[in-house]
Amino acid sequence: MRGSFDQFGTLPPASPVVVSVPHAGRDYPLPLRAAAAVPVASMLALEDRHVDAVALAAHGGETLLIQRVARAWIDLNRAEDERDPLIDDGAAAIPAGAAATKLRSGLGLVPRRAAPGVMLWRRRLADDEVRARIVADHRPYHAAVAAALQAARERFGAALLIDLHSMPSLPGARPARWVIGDRFGRSAGGRLVHAIEGEIAAAGHAVALNAPYPGGHILSRHGRPADNVHAIQIEIDRRLYLDARLDAPGPGLDSTAALLRRLLAIAAEELTGGITALAAE
């Protein structure tokens, strides 16, 4: 245990795959609860509810990082400068363009809302408050991810970050139950992405690529395919592994974790057996 996250696995790493779970934290610090305009129950919509249980059940020795502090406190999948001027005294103006869409919607480095129409904070946040969260929680997590990927690459010649999330059910007649994000090909080699996509499809699940979740700051920060350091986001429909109330792990957790286990093994095999091909993509 270190800082506000837990890290599992050995050094040197047992696998070229590193797994990150940044949004499943269920610790709500007292300063958060004191400044919040809503009870903790209203903040649960920000969580990737219990997807850490899937990651732990699938764990086979890879380096695994799980954030314990809730996303309502700070969002590790946002850059340090994605600060919201509507609540944050240290934030710059929101820039124009599609890149600021999440920030304008209230999902910046420190979320402004707990759910659509549910404002999270009862007061503005001082610059030093947000900076303290960056120093204590955001930077240590990203430093640990970077160190794990470097160690994996040094040992195996290539590394892959699987950034694990969960999502509400998507609309449609046969919606995707798993969504793979690779920043539209910028954060990972195509061989890895297609191997993972194929295994999910073979398991009988509808799977989508980059729609509607192409991946965020974690992928753009850590994915460097040209250096054989890849990063892929995986979103799992919560109904696959939670109970009927979408509140606790349910009967589908074992099968979901078993599929994730296969994805991690396939990715490791691709990395160790196809390094030259990946580097040439």
Position 168: which residue type?
A: P
Model pLDDT, residue 1: 43
Whether the pLDDT of residue 276 is over 50: the answer is no
Reduced to 3 states (helix: H, G, I; strand: E, B; else coil), residue 77 is: coil
> Strands across the sheet with 178-181, in order?
5-8, 63-67, 17-21, 159-167, 229-237, 178-181, 207-209
Return d(Cα 244, Cα 51) in angstroms, integer.
Answer: 15
- Which one, of 166, 176, 245, lies nearest residue 206 by Cα? 176
Per-residue pLDDT band for 281 (boundaries 50, 70, 90) equals low
Per-residue pLDDT band for 100 (boundaries 50, 70, 90) equals confident
Whether the pLDDT of residue 25 is over 90: the answer is yes
Return d(Cα 265, Cα 243) in angstroms, integer.
Answer: 27
Whether the pLDDT of residue 176 is over 80: the answer is yes
What pTM does this model have? 0.95
**DSSP tag of 120:** -
